[in-house]
Structure 1
Amino acid sequence: MAGRSTEQNQDMIALLEDLKVCVTEQDRRRIDALLAQVVDDVSNTASLFHPPQPTYDDRQGEVDVSAEVGSNEDLDIMDEDVLRNEGSRATGFIGKSSELQWLRRLRQDAERSKGASSGLKGPYGPPGDSTEAAQRRTEALRKRQQHDSSIRMRTSASTFYLDNDNIDVSRTVNPFELPSRETAQRLLDGYMTTVQDSFPILPETLFKHQFDQYYTSVMQGMPSPVPPKWLAILNLVFAIGAKYLQLMEADWEIGGQDHHLYWSRAHALGLDGSFLVAHPDLMQIQTTALLAFYFLSIGHVNRAWVVMGFSLRFAHALGLHVRNEDRTATVPQKEILLRMWWGLYSLEGILSTIVGRPSFVLEEYCSAPLPLPLATEQLLDEALTCELHERYRGAGIHQNAPQVASAASEPPNAGSYLKSRVQVGIITQKVMIELYSASVVTKSWKQVQQATAGLCQQLEAWLVSLPSDLNFTQAKDSTSFQRERLMLQTYYIGTKILITRPCLCRLDRRIANQTKASSEFDKQTARLCVGAAKAVASLLPDLIDTTYLYKIGPWWSVVHNLMQALIVLLLEMSYGAVHFPEDGKEILPSIKKLIRWLSTMAKNNEVAGRAYTMALRVLQGLAPRLNADISDLIWEDAARSKDSETFDFEDQFTAGEHGRAYPFSAGADAGAFGGEGMRASDFYNNQTGYASMFGIPARQPQAIPSFLGSLGGGGELLSDFPGLDPMFGNPFVTGYDEENPVTSGEDFFNMDAFMLGSQHRQARS
């Protein structure tokens, strides 16, 4: 009985020791005083029942040192002047979760004297949120800075993204011109087949229906009037599709246009300054989110992150982040809005990770349930949607853990894929908060280790809970959902790298009196980090085929994924493969493979080209110190440079792309539109300054049953547009007088309600 009491006392002492790093300085002194009174008595009593063990007077180094001892180091400071010039402002502040900071640290360490690639050895301050603890951490930082004579490299000098490049908007573009139907269909398909399931910003079935209706009306010589915002959305979809097809090396002689033209049209149609001060609506959310995605796809990540903030502000203003219990809305309507929200959330998560900045979404304020496991076309089945809505009613982001049995049995479809994507994104955001936020410096290294272990467990629980056909760890004979599996695997590996990255440094040189168990944890976690990076290289075929990667992978951020892994491997190489003493030579082949992929991608991807140049330069600096043979890469690079003497890949976008003449116009391709070209005068009245397309007389309606009777809508729909309900207005046809223009688009139609309503009615029309 006495032995049991002693064990309990020892457990209480251990708990108090752990709590010391979480309390104020005054409370810490009280705990120390209490422990000083009882610890000896407990230790003496314990010796009567157990063999001698280390007492709590023996200090644990990992408890006494701040989390800044890890590879992230100073999470709560900015060590450069971001405001100094336009270039540094274009890059902006980059946080420690970004591979750009990792690359900066790697290049900085490589240039230090005596090959001090492991970074500084200390000192490091204590954990705690007291003023005294903060002052001691600041003093330790100043001492480290005094010991480091090297000049701080600017972050903007280590970025391979294109934010420093201009994206000038063409002022001479005709915003109402459109590509031929054939080109437009290719652009739309490129977007829908690769982007839509991961980021369902648009209601797919409805948008395709609108697209078909509009182009049909154009080919008939009577272009249906649509709001400029909708045309802006369409052109952004075209711009994204054009960027994708460019990477796929599609034959652009068919259209002769590039993504910059469509972006210019979208800007002219609805992306001027006025939209920032207008009251939010769904189309504003979609426009800004698509613009953010477009900027991401062309390598302007700082712009993308900023614009995404507008989209999320609009979404919060309309309440998309909370559970929708509006009794006048149907379940399919709610699900469409829900998927839009989670599409925004997923895009925000990627951007926050890339630039290392906080997400604008606070999960504590979010109660929106997870997406239903339904395919896109199944959303038209209201009965099925309602049934699953009731079954998964409590499935929100705040539930304790995935229901492994039920989740694994879910059918593979767009809904279950999005749900899985969202769940791993939630884990990633936890990683950003628990390991990369500024407040982490107040934690001890032991607490960081505990957080790391817990996050790894959550990630593995997510993996086990994946639906069988989406689980990338299970061998599959079918190619069905191959793309979804690869995407989820990519997100899984990226999240694992983020979780384990803080341990990838020479912690054995930084923490005094570290326990053996703590040191072993650091080594094993570092091995997991390097192993995850090697897994990225293993995902890539040995025979380089960039179209394969773009077709089934995250083409919009693939350079981020490759560089995240490559820099981890280069870091381990700079440490002399200390975490892999038995097979350190296996790291170099993975590095070479990733560099070769970047080299091939650089042919038509400037972001990849810049990343390749930086990575090869770093490897060249490391190779002599480590006696690594990279002569094959040097030879290949020389051959590549010779082939590109007349075409500099680093200038192909800034000089060639934006300065290109656009020989194609919809007006010249009159045959595609029944002999009628698409002229600006068809859409815009120079006298009134308003779109003349709104002057087309309305047609006589035809009575058919209303699909959304529960919303109180009427039962008459326009005969030429059977999918439209008059309660939402008609976005294509109106009888308003163009000579007396209205002042608000809402007087023409309620596009928001239409976008939700007509999708479900199409199956009934």
Structure 2
Amino acid sequence: MLASRKRASSPVEADQKKPREKARTRPNPKEAVKKDVGTCSMDKKQIGDRVKAALALNKYALNRTVINLQIDTAFFRTFFVDNDKLSKPVSITPTEFDDTSPVVVVEFSHHQAAELLGVSKEIEQMPKFPSREMLNAPIGLTEVEQLNDLTSQVDTLESLLRDIYPRLDVLSSQLVDQTLKEIRSRTPLPQSNPAVPNLPTLLPSHTWQVNPSLSFTDASLGSPFGTAEYTDEDYNRDDKVQAMGFVGEHSEMAWLYRLKRDLDQDSFPPIEETPGRPAISSVNYFQDDSDLLLPDTIDFTHWPPQHLADNLVDAYFYAVHPAFPIFGKVTFLHQYRSFYSNPNLRPGKRWLALLNLVFAIATRYAVLTDQLQPDQDDHQTFFARAWSLSVGKVALLDHPDLQQVQVEGLAAFYLLSIGQVNRSWRIIGIAIRSAVTMGLNLRSESESVPQFSKEIRYRLWWALFMLDTVLCEMTGRPLSMREIFYTTPLPAPFQEEDFRDDRVVQLITRQEIRGAFVTSLLPNSTLTPLQDGVSRKHPPQLGFSQRKREIRTPQALVESQAPSLTPNTSLYFLYAVDLAHLLRETINILYAPRATRLSRREIETAISTFNDRADDWLSHLPAEFNFATPNTNVAQPFTQQSASLAFRFYATKLIITQPSLRLCQSSTEPRSPGATCDDMATICVQTACQMLDLLPESADTYWLYSIAPWWCVLHNIMQSTTILLVELFTRTHLGTAKATSLIQRVQKATRWLNEMSAKDPSSQRAWSVCTDILSRHGLKFWP
């Protein structure tokens, strides 16, 4: 390097030396200026173009954009030194210069650049730019236009990435995350806008990435959509608070309490809460504060007569098993018949506990549907036997086996059915831990386990999955299992009796064929390839049995099996699991405490995306289960399954869109009529109306408990009623058609709650909570 500098001067250097030799005569400076202005390397127009290029990047500007310009000395002296109207440059290189200096490097600040163009007002409002180096090279008008085009392309690609990111599989989403991380490492963000940690990548495959540049500056203030990362309740205060437990933001009790609190505070005079009583417990309508009355002495040798037992078992398989296949029907019925036909048979305690839980749940269902026999034991007695045999006391210290997992799952369901939601939530957590202990969260490749048994175990896992989803939705608490930790294949859409059929066995034993088949049924499923064995990058767009399937992998075998699949309760369960996945992903993204770090734009985009995916799920529902567009030409043998999917679908949509309703309720920011938040809030209210429209105008509890998901229908009615009350009291003007429609539906809901109160104490409490709010604050709607 040093040697090369001693060589002959370059032609450019030689040309620069000649003027310096002539300059020794020290001519008049004014004459030098006149002589050199016309030949300087950058004139005023070029400087303006250079500044425009910087302004074209205004979307990413710094606190002080610095523009480096190489200017001939004479030009610099004429326009910047002798011009009193312009402020002095930030720096000049060299610091000591005279007329013999060929070139002066000048740094102009952002505001000085604005002075050159006369746009100082506009430049003061510009955002910041992360990279000074991008402005160091000369830029012309052509480059300005290119930068504008590139900026527009980046915006388009960014929007596209946001749209498709939730639909990516695990590997693709990780690749996107890694690529963005590398880009950020090459172009760091400014110090004045620190990045906020992203949501954990341990969320389901379709995670929503936090954009650091759009995040709230103070996450402790909470999200405007209602998610909180703190609690202001002491849940250890007394027995009632402990019985209720924590209630999270995706529970309708949290929505209802917030409305009640705001209405009480806005009333005149303000209504004070009862001293010493936990705030949210004032709207708690469950029964956890009621003791479980278990008899001290239990006769383990007493069993119902077989004709009563047969009725209870039939009722269980009608009312529970299709939605929660916790054990195999074929195996259980064989064992049950052997037990009653052979008095000398002595089953194990866990099987006896299982049978008692079946009797307890069926008896509870018989109470609701007015089918209880006069000489029949009550459901508490059956549950007490089961609890003593295999749930309570020492039994929980034993190592679990498959029957113990089934017993714990049924115990959780029974507690849910009688309104003991907090206790049920705790027991389902134990059941899931027992299931993981047994490895049920993973696909079985054991050669010692028959395929029939594998399928029963898969269904047990998904039954626990469904029960956990319902309980977390009702309590507003976190989910008990994470998607990245289970690879259990999705439930096969065939009846249990068909699992020994050769063609069915051939289809479900090979994972790639099974995955392709499930993909044909759920072409836009929210599930990951780990569950179905195939990638969803290009899923085949197929309908149900009415259309020919065109599965590419492996096509021949899948097509040969397609005609054998007819609508059945197992297919219903598959679609229910798929919808539950979407609900769980929604809870993880919109309601987890870390959602407070998401910006309003990101939340709105996530809500819109989840809502579209819910609608897409509905569009692929087979006609036999489709509740939105009933087909009069199709028989209705699956009315119960269709109603169950309807309530689950509308409940999912309410949880997706409820944050938008809350923001529109509380926000004072002006919004355009077509704003995403307003659109989603409208959909939320419409969904609540659609859910209540599922109920006949005349309250009929037999129809309700026979057709609807009886174990959680009260929760669903309270979800929709709460949304309508929020809309009525916060966004509706008295005397409008909208007010009239909302009032009619609220009245319908209270009629149903009142009718349900005759058989269900939880319904009676729910009716009291709603009528209390209406009596205090609804007189203007009911004069």
Taking structure 1 as the reference length, the TM-score comes to 0.68
Per-residue deviation, 1:286: 0.5
Instruction: Please list the CA deviations of residues 354-388 of structure 1 after superposition, one character each: whole Å capped at 9, or x if unmatched.
Output: 00111111001111121111023222424423324
Distance 2:571 2:706 in 1: 21
Per-residue deviation, 1:72: 4.9
Per-residue deviation, 1:553: 1.0
Distance 1:183 1:628 in 2: 50
Of 323, 340, 357, the residue aligned with 1:198 is 323
Query: What is aligned with 1:31?
Result: 189
Distance 1:569 1:557 in 2: 19
- 106-115 vs 560-569, which moves further: 106-115
Distance 1:352 1:490 in 2: 16
Per-residue deviation, 1:177: 1.1
Query: CA, structure 1 residues 15+111, in 2 after alignment: closer, same or farther (shift >3 Å)?
Result: farther
Of 351, 375, 386, the residue aligned with 1:230 is 351
Query: What is aligned with 2:576?
Result: 421
The equivalences for 1:144-293 within 5 A come to: 154-217=279-342, 222-255=343-376, 257-293=377-413
Query: CA, structure 1 residues 510+68, in 2 after alignment: closer, same or farther (shift >3 Å)?
Result: farther
Cα contact 2:455–2:491 (8 A) shared by 1: yes
Query: What is aligned with 1:299?
Result: 419
| Pair 1:392 & 2:549 matched | no
Instruction: Please list the CA deviations of residues 291-331 of structure 1 after superposition, one character each: whole Å capped at 9, or x if unmatched.
Output: 00000000000000000001000111111111222233332
The gaps in structure 1 that reach 5 residues or longer are 36-59, 118-147, 631-765
Identity of aligned residues (%): 27
Cα contact 2:389–2:395 (8 A) shared by 1: no
Cα contact 1:63–1:446 (8 A) shared by 2: no
Cα contact 2:312–2:359 (8 A) shared by 1: yes
| Pair 1:330 & 2:450 matched | yes
Alignment RMSD, CA only?
3.3
| Structure with larger Rg | 2
Query: Which secondary structure does the structure 2 equivalent of 1:470 belong to?
Result: coil
Query: Which secondary structure does the structure 2 equivalent of 1:31 belong to?
Result: coil
Per-residue deviation, 1:100: 1.2
| Pair 1:510 & 2:640 matched | no
Query: What is aligned with 1:8?
Result: 150
Cα contact 2:356–2:383 (8 A) shared by 1: yes
Cα contact 1:376–1:414 (8 A) shared by 2: no
Per-residue deviation, 1:233: 0.6
Cα contact 1:201–1:343 (8 A) shared by 2: yes
Counterpart AA for 1:405: L
Counterpart AA for 1:154: A
Cα contact 1:110–1:116 (8 A) shared by 2: no
Distance 1:149 1:185 in 2: 50
Query: Which secondary structure does the structure 1 equivalent of 2:709 belong to?
Result: coil
Counterpart AA for 2:363: A
Distance 1:200 1:403 in 2: 29
Instruction: Please list the CA deviations of residues 227-249 of structure 1 after superposition, one character each: whole Å capped at 9, or x if unmatched.
Output: 11111110011000000000001
Query: What is aligned with 1:346?
Result: 466
Cα contact 1:67–1:443 (8 A) shared by 2: no
The gaps in structure 2 that reach 5 residues or longer are 1-141, 163-179, 194-212, 520-526, 530-535, 547-564
| Pair 1:617 & 2:772 matched | yes
Instruction: Please list the CA deviations of residues 446-499 of structure 1 after superposition, one character each: whole Å capped at 9, or x if unmatched.
Output: 111111011112211211222231222232332211111111111000000000
Query: CA, structure 1 residues 573+280, in 2 after alignment: closer, same or farther (shift >3 Å)?
Result: same
Of 83, 95, 101, the residue aligned with 2:236 is 83
Distance 2:192 2:289 in 1: 58
Cα contact 1:103–1:567 (8 A) shared by 2: yes
Per-residue deviation, 1:268: 2.0
Query: CA, structure 1 residues 354+294, in 2 after alignment: closer, same or farther (shift >3 Å)?
Result: same
Query: Which secondary structure does the structure 1 equivalent of 2:491 belong to?
Result: coil
Query: CA, structure 1 residues 284+75, in 2 after alignment: closer, same or farther (shift >3 Å)?
Result: same
Q: Matched residue pairs, number? A: 563
Query: Which secondary structure does the structure 2 equivalent of 1:76 belong to?
Result: coil
Cα contact 1:175–1:266 (8 A) shared by 2: no
Per-residue deviation, 1:97: 0.6
Distance 2:157 2:217 in 1: 15
| Pair 1:598 & 2:753 matched | yes
Query: What is aligned with 1:436?
Result: 591
| Pair 1:449 & 2:591 matched | no
Higher relative contact order (CA 8 A, sep 6+): 1
Query: What is aligned with 2:440?
Result: 320
Query: Which secondary structure does the structure 2 equivalent of 1:305 belong to?
Result: helix
Distance 1:456 1:628 in 2: 32
Distance 2:460 2:665 in 1: 47
Query: What is aligned with 1:97?
Result: 250
Per-residue deviation, 1:621: 2.1
Query: What is aligned with 1:405?
Result: 542
Distance 1:116 1:414 in 2: 55
The equivalences for 1:350-749 within 5 A come to: 350-390=470-510, 391-393=513-515, 395=518, 397-399=527-529, 400=536, 404-406=541-543, 411-477=566-632, 478-505=635-662, 507=664, 510=667, 512=669, 516=672, 520-577=675-732, 583-624=738-779, 627-629=780-782
Instruction: Please list the CA deviations of residues 128-159 of structure 1 after superposition, one character each: whole Å capped at 9, or x if unmatched.
Output: xxxxxxxxxxxxxxxxxxxx999995222221
Distance 1:92 1:460 in 2: 34
